[in-house]
Amino acid sequence: MNSRPPASSASPASPLSPESSDRLKKQKTASLLLYVGLVLLALWVVRDFIAVVGWAGVIAIALWPLLRKVEGQRWFTGRTTLIAVVLTLAIALLVVLPVGIGIAQALGEAHDLTEWFKTVQENGIPMPDFVQRLPFGVQQVTAWWQANLAQPLRGSAAMKSLHSTTVMALGRHFGARAVHAVMVFAFMLVTLFVIFQAGPRLSASLVTGVRRGFGEDGAQLLERMAAAVRGTVSGLVVVGLGEGALMGVAYAVTGLPHVALLAVITAIAAMLPFCAPLTFGLAALWLFAQGSVASAIGLAVFGAIVVFVAEHFVRPVLIGNSTRLPFLLVLFGILGGAETFGLLGLFIGPALMTVLMVLWTDLVQ
């Protein structure tokens, strides 16, 4: 009995026709444009929260090694929510406590300030003694003071301007900005909690996505950018705390009041490049106004030395060692980033300089 061999159930794939191939390319191009458009639309919708996510990301990157170390402890294994709550509360306290101390000090001085304000309204502001010890311009300063401040200020133009619509508008604007800052900080804490709670799952998915999209080189570049952000945070915080501690000792030696509060304010200002001179400069001016000329000069000189060493040697070394960036790129990254992106640019700038350094290294090798 003859039988035919069974026909093959699978026929070889036929090549696409030129029309089908062209249609497929157009579909891929249209899909790409659609995806890009949807991503841009989504970013535009959440544009007011991009800075919130950026700050949360910077803090999370800086604390990620600590998070992984805590997760490795036997008592915290599997308790990601508890770890996220503790770390988020710690960040909140680090911000709220200095602000609370400052508000408490201001409220404590409010009564004395109110009494002084009433006195100068009735009697004017007496000219301080240091004016007579100025090296030049004594007559001009004395004449201006007598004409504008030494007289009762109740009916003066300066007091009337305090009740003007411009000052009231500035007050409302400041209040609105303060409320906005509080809301941004609250949303940042919520975002930070979610990032901490996601933990290793978020890190693994991010690295996997980068590897699929940009290969192993892209994953390594991402790790180096994270190291740049982490090193920048460490450099800014460590140097700021060091400058605050040293200037706190100087404040105590010169006899300034509220030494602890001034040291905290100086530490916070020192975390921003070249902002510490504002604090110890005002403190030196206060000492000078009180007649302590030698203490004022000593405080200004000591502060200038501390800031010079910290900003030009310690901070670039701390950041450069962790990112393997030269001093000039670290400096340009911090200053240029701050000028372009604001405070968040302090951390974005060195990360971008790391990308530039990696691209240059790949080009010349």
| pLDDT 10s digits, 340-357 | 888 788 888 888 888 888
Res. 300 pLDDT band, cuts 50 70 90? very high
Alpha-carbon separation of residue 344 from 65, 75, 113 (angstroms): 21, 35, 36
pLDDT at 26 (0 to 100): 81
Contact 250, 299 (CB under 8 A): yes
Q: What pLDDT does residue 11 have?
A: 47
Check pLDDT > 60 for residue 9. Answer: no
pLDDT value of residue 322: 64
> Per-residue pLDDT for 115 more than 80?
no
CB 303 within 8 A of CB 247: yes
Higher pLDDT: 207 or 120? It is 207
Number of DSSP helices (H) and strands (E) in the chain, helices first? 13, 0
DSSP string, 288-350: HHTT-HHHHHHHHHHHHHHHHHIIIIIHHHHHHHHHT--HHHHHHHHHHHHHHHGGGHHHHHH
Give domain limits for the chain: 48-135+149-198, 216-365
**Higher pLDDT, residue 357 or 295:** 295
Q: Which pLDDT score is estimated for 274?
A: 75
Q: Which of 135-149, 180-194, 196-210 has the highest mean pLDDT?
A: 180-194
> How remote is the C-alpha of 92 from its chain's centroid?
15
Tell me the average pLDDT across 111-120: 72
Query: 232: pLDDT confidence band, cut at 50, 70 and 90?
Result: confident
Q: What is the dihedral of CA 25, 26, 31, 36, to 10 degrees?
A: 100
Tokens (6 digits) for 205: 């998915």
Average pLDDT in the 276-301 region?
A: 87
How far apart (Å, rounded) are the C-alpha atoms in residues 357 and 177?
A: 38
What confidence score (pLDDT) does residue 246 get?
Answer: 92
Q: Do you know the residue count of the chain?
A: 365
Q: How confident is the model at residue 1 (pLDDT cuts 50, 70, 90)?
A: very low
Residues 6 or more apart from 154 whose CB is under 8 A from it? Answer: 121, 122
Chain centroid to CA 150: how far? 43
pLDDT reported for residue 302: 94
pLDDT, residue 304, reads 92
Cα–Cα distance, 216 to 183 (Å, whole number): 39
Q: How confident is residue 125, by pLDDT bands cut at 50, 70 and 90?
A: confident
pLDDT, tens digit, 9 for 90 and up, residues 66-81? 888 888 777 777 778 8
Residue 115 CB partners (closer than 8 Å, separation 6+)? none
Six-digit token string for 211:
């590897």
Task: Identify the band that residue 13 occupies on the pLDDT scale cut at 50, 70 and 90.
Answer: very low
Is the separation of the CB atoms in 88 and 196 below 8 Å?
yes
| Distances, alpha carbon 279 to alpha carbons 121, 261, 267, 273, in Å | 29, 11, 10, 13
